[in-house]
């Protein structure tokens, strides 16, 4: 079952033209549309399902700098500055609070990694503090484990995915962004090699710029147009609980479970490092590029073969502009959560925090987390196809950095001065292999 998502009303009429057409109504697409509209650019946003229907409402809701790959840190810092003002700017609740995030571990290797990261992060001005085992115990009262150490970022925070993305979408509409839900984009149109329009299931839209922000579906859409995009997915399971005693106001990452306080008094819970790798055609074809990432994550993976092989975003599919596309056959990726993982999560919470005895899952869901080989997103133009831009491949980091990513995407589309250095996010690394053999912090 999918998590509850705030409703966004669709515009009824298809605009025949726009400065920019955004494909995808998740965090990446919505923030880009909002930022473009704030600068006076006309935008149509196309979403095959509903706003935030897939991973943008199924994530943990962490807004962090902590343990980010250094290549992502400036974008994460920019995003936090935007998060700070969004509630007042939008006039709606996003759930954002600067509550701090704590990572705790019994493993020396993890603590050593965090220490090395801290040296780099402090060079970026990040407030990150190493914790001893006794400091972890003081900062995590009621936690029954004996920790060797941890790391704390007091300026990181949390937000509510099911509130934040719809609030941004409604704000974009107030700036005249046209949002069409249950409307799939089928093909790009080009003239003399440049983007000239988009064919949707409801008609054509003339435009000179298209942003592909389709999450796990971006690769399929781009491959259809002969554009290589390395992207692989893992199914995750998460849940939120009934209202429970306060053991933290922020987020805590432990070796086997994460928890994040919610506005409704419960906790959003994730199982660290666990997921299901679904066997797919493009997963197999890209195995070499993803081999090092697979080696890092393999201990936490199970495997499955089924419907995604034939119908999911990594299947082999062909379609025409006047025919039904795969995006219309599957409006929303809504995989079943793994019940045993939900039970394991509850058991781990209660064993760690005895005060949570009796806590129950209120709702659980499956999600599809798409990644690039280096776990760094692509936010970039595509030089071989003028007018085409990509904002995808967020590798499980997209919600927290979304407000910053939207700013950078808008900068690139408009030709404005980039808010952060765009070089780490360039598309061409998919072609020339730059840094793809160096997985980021997953």
Hey, CA dihedral for 383, 400, 1, 47, is it positive or negative? Answer: negative
Q: Is 120 exposed, middle or buried (0-12, 13-18, 19+ CB in 10 A)?
A: middle
Q: How confident is the model at residue 294 (pLDDT cuts 50, 70, 90)?
A: confident
In the predicted model, is pLDDT for residue 441 greater than 60? no
The partner residues of 152 in beta bridges, in order of sequence, read 102, 129
Tell me the backbone φ, ψ of residue 190, rounded to 5 degrees.
-135, 155
In the predicted model, is pLDDT for residue 377 greater than 80? yes
Helix (H) or strand (E) holding 363: strand 361-371
Who contacts 396 (Cβ-Cβ below 8 Å, separation ≥6)?
A: 59, 369, 371, 442
Q: How confident is the model at residue 31 (pLDDT cuts 50, 70, 90)?
A: very high
In the predicted model, is pLDDT for residue 40 greater than 70? yes
Q: How confident is the model at residue 435 (pLDDT cuts 50, 70, 90)?
A: low
Exposure on the CB side of residue 251, measured as CA atoms within 13 A: 27
In the predicted model, is pLDDT for residue 438 greater than 60? no
Q: How confident is the model at residue 273 (pLDDT cuts 50, 70, 90)?
A: confident
Ranges assigned E (strand) in 93-246: 101-105, 129-132, 149-153, 157-158, 178-180, 185-191, 194-200, 203-206, 210-212, 232-241
Q: Could you report the per-residue pLDDT of 126-136, keeping only the tens digit for each?
A: 999 999 999 99
pLDDT recorded at residue 1: 65
Mean per-residue pLDDT over the chain, rounded: 95
Q: Could you report the per-residue pLDDT of 65-121, keeping only the tens digit for each?
A: 999 999 999 999 999 999 999 999 999 999 999 999 999 999 999 999 999 999 999
pTM (2 decimals)?
0.96
pLDDT recorded at residue 431: 86
Distance CA 212, CA 386 (A): 13
Exposure on the CB side of residue 154, measured as CA atoms within 13 A: 6
Distance CA 421, CA 424 (A): 7
Q: How confident is the model at residue 238 (pLDDT cuts 50, 70, 90)?
A: very high
30: nearest Cα among 167, 168, 164, 198: 168
What's the DSSP call for residue 248? -
pLDDT recorded at residue 126: 96
User: Contact 94/86 with Cβ under 8 angstroms?
Assistant: yes
299's tokens: 């201990």
The partner residues of 46 in beta bridges, in order of sequence, read 23, 180
Who contacts 159 (Cβ-Cβ below 8 Å, separation ≥6)?
A: 61, 63, 83, 94, 95, 96, 97, 399, 400
Distance CA 200, CA 187 (A): 7
Residue carrying structure tokens 């704030």:
38
Residue 276 Cα to chain centre, angstroms: 18
Distance CA 48, CA 89 (A): 28
Distance CA 369, CA 397 (A): 9
28: nearest Cα among 398, 416, 419, 423: 398
SS3 of 251, please?
strand
Hey, CA dihedral for 162, 168, 172, 173, is it positive or negative? Answer: positive
Q: Could you report the per-residue pLDDT of 407-433, keeping only the tens digit for each?
A: 999 999 999 999 999 999 999 998 887
Distance CA 210, CA 29 (A): 11
Distance CA 253, CA 139 (A): 13
């Amino acid at each position: 079952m999918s998590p509850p998502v705030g409703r966004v009303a669709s515009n009824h009429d298809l605009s025949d033209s726009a400065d920019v057409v955004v494909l995808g109504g998740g965090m990446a697409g919505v923030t880009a549309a909002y930022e473009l509209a704030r600068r006076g650019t006309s935008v149509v946003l196309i979403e095959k399902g509903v706003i935030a229907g897939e991973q943008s409402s199924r994530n943990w809701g962490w807004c962090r700098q902590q343990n980010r790959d250094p290549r992502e840190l400036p974008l994460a810092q920019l995003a936090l500055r935007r998060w700070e003002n969004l509630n007042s700017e939008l006039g709606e609740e996003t759930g954002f609070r600067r509550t701090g995030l704590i990572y705790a571990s019994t493993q020396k290797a993890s603590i050593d990694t965090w220490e090395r990261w801290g040296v780099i992060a402090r060079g970026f001005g990040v407030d990150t503090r190493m914790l001893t085992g006794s400091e972890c115990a003081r900062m995590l009262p009621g936690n029954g484990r004996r920790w060797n150490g941890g790391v704390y970022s007091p300026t990181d925070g949390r937000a509510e995915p099911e509130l934040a993305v719809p609030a941004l979408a409604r704000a974009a509409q107030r700036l005249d962004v046209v949002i069409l839900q249950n409307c799939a984009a089928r093909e790009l149109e080009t003239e003399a090699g440049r983007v000239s329009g988009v064919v949707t299931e409801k008609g054509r839209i003339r435009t000179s710029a298209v942003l592909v922000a389709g999450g796990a579906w971006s690769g399929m859409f781009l491959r259809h147009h002969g554009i290589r995009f390395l992207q692989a997915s893992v199914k995750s399971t998460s849940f939120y609980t009934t209202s429970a005693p306060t053991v933290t106001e922020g987020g805590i990452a432990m070796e086997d479970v994460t928890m994040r306080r919610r506005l409704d008094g419960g906790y959003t819970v994730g199982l660290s490092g666990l997921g299901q790798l679904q066997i797919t055609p493009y997963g197999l074809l890209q195995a070499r590029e993803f081999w090092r990432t697979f080696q890092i994550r393999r201990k936490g993976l199970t495997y499955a073969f089924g419907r995604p092989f034939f119908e999911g975003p990594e299947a082999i599919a062909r379609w025409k502009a006047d025919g039904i596309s795969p995006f219309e056959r599957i409006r929303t990726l809504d995989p079943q959560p793994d019940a045993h993982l939900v039970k394991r999560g509850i058991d781990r919470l209660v064993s760690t925090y005895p005060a949570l005895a009796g806590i129950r899952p209120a709702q659980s869901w499956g999600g599809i987390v798409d990644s690039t080989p280096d776990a760094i997103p692509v936010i970039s133009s595509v030089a071989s196809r003028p007018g085409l831009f990509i904002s995808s491949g967020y590798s499980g980091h997209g919600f927290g950095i979304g407000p910053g990513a939207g700013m950078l995407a808008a900068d690139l589309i408009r030709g404005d001065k980039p808010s952060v250095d765009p070089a780490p996010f360039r598309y061409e690394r998919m072609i020339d292999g730059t840094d793809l053999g160096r997985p980021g912090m997953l």
